[in-house]
Structure formats: C-alpha cells, structure tokens
C-alpha cells in the first residue's frame, strides 16, 4: 500500500473526499515548485499532481500549455523535476503523482524512469496520451517499482473500455469530466454523476474527477459524487501572474480544500 492508497483509506475512514491539486513543474521555476509542494499540505491538499512540461501536449488547454512553455524555457527537465520530488520528500509525505506524456518517459527509458520515480518518492504516474491497449510495457515497469499507474476514463468510454481502464489503474481512476482539453469552465456538464456511477459499478478503487473545475462551489458539487476532486488550470492561472504566487495559491487551495472536505460520504 503506497501513499495514495493510504491517503484514500484515511479519508474514507474520516468520511472525507480527496483534494488533488495540479501544478506545472518548473513554472515559474523549480524553486517555486518545491515551495508549493512543501506548503500545499498545510492548505489542505491531499495529493499533488506535478505536470511534466512537454512541447507537444494533446490534453492540455491554453493555460497549462503556456505554463509548460514557460517551464521548458526555464530549463525544466524530467531529471530536474524528479530532483524536486526528492528534495520535497525531506519535509513532506504527501502523495505525489507525475502527469506526463509518453515521449519524455520513453526518452528517459521505461525501467530507468520508474526506478528513478521510486527512488525520488513519486507515488503514481498519469500518461494521458498512452491508451491502455499500448500500455503493457509501461504498466509492467511501473509495477516492478511499485509505482501506481493511473488511467483516464472519459464520458465517451464504453462499459467494456471502462472495465479495462479500471483493471490497469492503481491508486485511483481519473474521470475526465468533459470531452476536450483541460481548462477552467464556468459550468460543468450535468451528467458527471452518471459517468462516475458507470465507473463505480465496475471499480473497486477510488474515482477522482478533473478537467474544468474552477471554483470551490464546483469542487463541492463534484465531491458529492466522486471520491476526489482534481483542480489544475485554476491554480496554474494564479501561478502565471507570479505576484505573491505561493501565498495566493495557498489561499485559493485552502478555500477549495474547505469546500471538498465539507462533503461527507
């Protein structure tokens, strides 16, 4: 049982839902990323997703694309990001998940990548552009190092596909709340609850929902139907402004955490 599993088990015992916060590693710089990772638990964040910047993303909207470009321009690399996680582990035990694309993982080397993840303290990996049909090598390498592989299910996923996604997933299943790319939305689709119920009918693991969550009110609503709520673009947008970014992210994260944790299962 790794940190992700322990966190969901603890929250379930407390009848609380998980708040999962996404930030792009290296934006505006790696030092700020390290500070955010260390301070986010104090704001009520339960799990941190660190986005690995990539030059040709397919799932990210304009806010995270811009953050990735800034991070790459500042010299962010997979190796340096793993170094940030290793440094963070000196002061925090919060679960950390890397969200990356397959190309950087393949370039690093599958075995080497997951070995480095384990040694540095990464608990799970999300690779949105790798379908489960082509994931056997990655899943095997991750299992060998006890790193969770978290796959995405979409509103368009068929029941049969959901079963296969669930079978490959460890830690939690990531439910994409809408079709399209990441980005804060003023309103979310009304059928999210039905989508989550479809996954739960075949899943024996937590379901976390993301893509589009932009406010405490939306986060609270989703916490009523999911085991965890993922917020990314709304946080990344605050960081992009740079002015007192850490303090402002901490304040916003605190509001999101309060909203999500107010919902009891």
DSSP 177: S
Return the pLDDT at 193: 83
Instruction: Work out the pLDDT band at 190, boundaries 50, 70, 90.
Output: low
Q: Which domain holds residue 69?
A: 3-261
Return the pLDDT at 185: 46
Sign of CA dihedral 162, 49, 213, 70: negative
Question: Tens digits of per-residue pLDDT, 49-58?
Answer: 999 999 877 7
Report the greatest alpha carbon distance in the chain.
Answer: 47
Return the pLDDT at 189: 61
> 138-147, 197-206, 213-222 — which one is most confidently predicted on average?
138-147
CATH number of the CATH domain containing 151: 3.20.20.70
Q: How many Cβ atoms sit within 10 Å of the Cβ of residue 26?
A: 27
pTM, full prediction? 0.94
Return the pLDDT at 178: 61
Return the pLDDT at 180: 46
Q: What are phi and psi of 222, to 5 degrees?
A: -70, -30
What's the total number of domains in the chain? 1
Catalytic positions are 49, 60
Instruction: Work out the pLDDT band at 181, boundaries 50, 70, 90.
Output: very low
Return the pLDDT at 83: 98
- Quick one: average pLDDT of 237-243? 89
Return the pLDDT at 72: 96
Question: Tens digits of per-residue pLDDT, 161-177?
Answer: 999 999 999 999 999 97
Q: How many Cβ atoms sit within 10 Å of the Cβ of residue 258?
A: 15
- Quick one: average pLDDT of 103-124? 97
Instruction: Work out the pLDDT band at 184, boundaries 50, 70, 90.
Output: very low
Structure tokens given for 185: 């939305």
């Amino acid at each position: 049982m790794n940190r992700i599993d322990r966190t969901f088990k603890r929250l379930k015992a407390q009848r609380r839902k998980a708040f999962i916060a996404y930030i792009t590693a290296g934006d505006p710089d790696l030092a700020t990323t390290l500070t955010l990772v260390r301070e986010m638990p104090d704001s009520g964040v339960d799990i941190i997703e660190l986005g690995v910047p990539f030059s040709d993303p397919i799932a990210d909207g304009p806010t995270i694309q811009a953050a990735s470009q800034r991070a790459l321009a500042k010299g962010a690399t997979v190796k340096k990001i793993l170094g940030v996680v290793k440094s963070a582990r000196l002061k925090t035990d919060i679960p950390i998940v890397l969200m990356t694309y397959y190309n950087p993982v393949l370039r690093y080397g599958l075995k080497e990548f997951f070995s480095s993840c384990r040694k540095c303290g990464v608990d799970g990996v999300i690779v949105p552009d790798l379908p489960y049909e082509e994931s056997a090598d990655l899943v095997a390498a991750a299992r060998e190092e006890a790193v969770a592989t978290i796959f995405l299910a979409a509103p368009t996923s068929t029941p049969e596909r959901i079963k296969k996604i669930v079978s490959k997933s460890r830690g939690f299943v990531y439910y994409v709340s809408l079709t399209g790319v990441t980005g804060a939305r003023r309103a979310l689709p009304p059928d999210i609850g039905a989508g989550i119920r479809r996954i739960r009918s075949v899943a024996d693991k937590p379901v976390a929902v993301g893509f589009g969550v932009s406010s405490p009110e939306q986060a609270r609503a989703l916490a009523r139907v999911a085991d965890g709520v993922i917020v990314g673009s709304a946080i990344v947008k605050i960081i992009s402004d740079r002015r007192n970014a850490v303090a402002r992210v901490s304040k916003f994260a605190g509001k999101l955490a309060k909203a999500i944790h107010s919902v009891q299962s």
